[in-house]
Amino acid sequence: MSDIQIAKVYEKRYKEFSFPIAKDKNGNLIDNHGHNRPYVIFFSHNKVFYLSAKTILNNNRKSTSADKTNVIFKKDLYGKDREIAVNCSVINIMDRELFESLYIKDNILNNFQTDIEHYNIIMKKLFDVFDEIKYFEVDYIENGKVSWKKKMKVWRIKKNAKWWLKDIIGFYKMKKYLLKWF
């Protein structure tokens, strides 16, 4: 496995790890029912930076469509005809080893590489709403409860985030260009 990965989606966790691992822009935990899942925008060798993705249902359609930080797709991240939204208002962060330990390793719905079109649209939205993005980092998990780092510790990540967003967007645009020629 390479140290840096991008554009991955995870869905199936071990049952004992069914607690919420993401927050919304107000700092509230995002309920972890079946229609919410993380979309990994960036894996470094020791951290995971992820957004919340969810299936759009009748009961959340109006509020989801009204949120300007959502990117809405008619096909989900797996390519199925299922409308989804990826929320770009919050980047959640977790130690990579801890994140990977929550998910069933050999499940085909985990560590799934999404397509370049989804990724480019999401990265553009992140760049467009950059000044509005909130950051929440998991400190540790103990007895089925997530402990979050204090805001001051997370601030250092935001300080450098615009640079890695630019680098990733540039890398993926170049990769897309190169793929046309090979």
Residues 72-92 pLDDT 10s: 999 988 888 999 999 999 999
Reported in sequence order, the residue ranges of 21-150 that DSSP labels E, i.e. its strands, are: 36-43, 47-55, 70-73, 84-95, 112-113, 134-142, 145-148
Cα angle 51, 67, 85 (rounded to 5 degrees) comes to: 45
- For 46, the token pair is 């020791």
Sign of CA dihedral 43, 140, 77, 162: negative
- The residue whose two tokens read 């967007």 is 169
Q: Which residue has the higher pLDDT, 61 or 35?
A: 61
> And the tokens for 180?
């046309």
d(CA 9, CA 15): 18
- What is the pLDDT at residue 79? 86
pLDDT in tens, 132-143: 899 899 999 999
Count Cα atoms within 13 angstroms, Cβ side, for 167: 8
90, amino acid identity: V
Collapse the DSSP code of 13 into the 3-class scheme (helix H, G, I; strand E, B; otherwise coil) and give the result. Answer: strand
- Residue-wise pLDDT tens digits, 100-137: 999 989 988 888 888 888 888 998 899 889 888 998 99
What percentage of the chain reaches a pLDDT higher than 70?
Answer: 78
| pLDDT interval class at 21 (50, 70, 90) | very high
Strand, helix or coil for residue 125: helix
Give, as one character, the DSSP assignment of residue 3.
Answer: S
pLDDT by residue (tens digit) across 145-165?
999 988 766 666 666 666 666
